Amino acid sequence: MDYFAFLLAILHVYKALCEEIFWDTTVKLAENMTLECVYPSTDILTQMEWFKINLMEREAIAIFSPTHGVIIREPYADRVSFLNSTMAPNDITLSFHNASEADVGYYSCFLHTFPQGTWEKVIQVVPPDSFDIAVPSTSHVISEPGKNVTLLCQLQTKWPVQQVTWEKIQPHQIDLLTCCNLFQGRNYTSKYQRQILTTCTQGSRGSFIIIPNVTVSDSGFYRCCFQASTGENETFVVRLTVTDGKTNNQYILFMAGGTVLLLLFVILITTVIVISYNRRRRRQKRDLCKDFWDTQKKAPNNSRSPTSANPPTDDAREDIYVNYPAFSRRPKARV
Ligand X SMILES: *[C@@H]1O[C@H](CO)[C@@H](O)[C@H](O)[C@H]1NC(C)=O
DSSP per-residue codes, 243-272 = --TTS-HHHHHHHHHHHHHHHHHHHHHHHH
Nearer to ligand X, 12 or 205 (CB): 205
Q: How far is the CB of 277 from ligand X (least distance, A)?
A: 15
Q: How far is the CB of 86 from ligand X (least distance, A)?
A: 5
Q: Is there binding between residue 213 and ligand X (CB under 6 A)?
A: yes
Q: Is there binding between residue 229 and ligand X (CB under 6 A)?
A: no
- Identify the bridge partners of residue 305 per DSSP, sorted by sequence position: none
Nearer to ligand X, 266 or 305 (CB): 305
Torsion of CA 285, 128, 269, 175, to 10 degrees: 80
Side chain identity at residue 282, one-letter code: R
d(CA 282, CA 169): 23
Contacts (CB under 6 A) with ligand X, residues 260-289: 285, 287, 289
Among 298, 329, 330, 334, binds ligand X (CB under 6 A): 298
Q: Is there binding between residue 38 and ligand X (CB under 6 A)?
A: no
Nearer to ligand X, 266 or 310 (CB): 310
Nearer to ligand X, 96 or 222 (CB): 96
DSSP per-residue codes, 192-212 = -SS--EE---TT-SEEEEEE-
Binding mask 89-118 for ligand X (x = CB under 6 A): ---x----xx-x------------------
With beta carbons less than 8 A apart as the criterion, state whether 162 and 152 touch: no
d(CA 212, CA 224): 18
Q: How far is the CB of 291 from ligand X (least distance, A)?
A: 9
Among 53, 60, 63, 200, binds ligand X (CB under 6 A): 200
Nearer to ligand X, 12 or 290 (CB): 290
d(CA 67, CA 94): 20
Among 81, 148, 204, 270, binds ligand X (CB under 6 A): 148
Binding mask 60-79 for ligand X (x = CB under 6 A): ----x-x---x---------
- Closest to 311 in 3D by CA, of 297, 299, 322, 296: 322
Side chain identity at residue 179, one-letter code: C
Residue 35: exposure state from Cβ atoms within 10 A (0-12, 13-18, ≥19): buried
Sort strands 161-169 and 58-65 into parallel, antiparallel or unpaired. Answer: unpaired
Nearer to ligand X, 172 or 263 (CB): 172
For ligand X (CB under 6 A), the number of binding residues is: 34
Q: Is there binding between residue 159 and ligand X (CB under 6 A)?
A: no
With beta carbons less than 8 A apart as the criterion, state whether 289 and 227 touch: yes
Cα Rg of the chain (Å, integer): 22
Sort strands 220-228 and 233-242 into parallel, antiparallel or unpaired. Answer: antiparallel
Q: Is there binding between residue 310 and ligand X (CB under 6 A)?
A: no
Sort strands 94-96 and 206-211 into parallel, antiparallel or unpaired. Answer: unpaired
Give the binding range for ligand X (CB under 6 A) out of 129-137, 140-148, 162-170, 269-277.
140-148
293: number of Cβ within 10 Å: 17
Q: Is there binding between residue 147 and ligand X (CB under 6 A)?
A: yes
Q: Is there binding between residue 295 and ligand X (CB under 6 A)?
A: yes
Q: Is there binding between residue 212 and ligand X (CB under 6 A)?
A: yes
Q: Is there binding between residue 302 and ligand X (CB under 6 A)?
A: yes
Q: Which residues bind ligand X (CB under 6 A)?
A: 31-32, 64, 66, 70, 82, 84, 86, 92, 97-98, 100, 146-148, 180, 187, 200, 212-213, 215, 231, 233, 285, 287, 289-290, 293, 295, 298-299, 301-302, 313
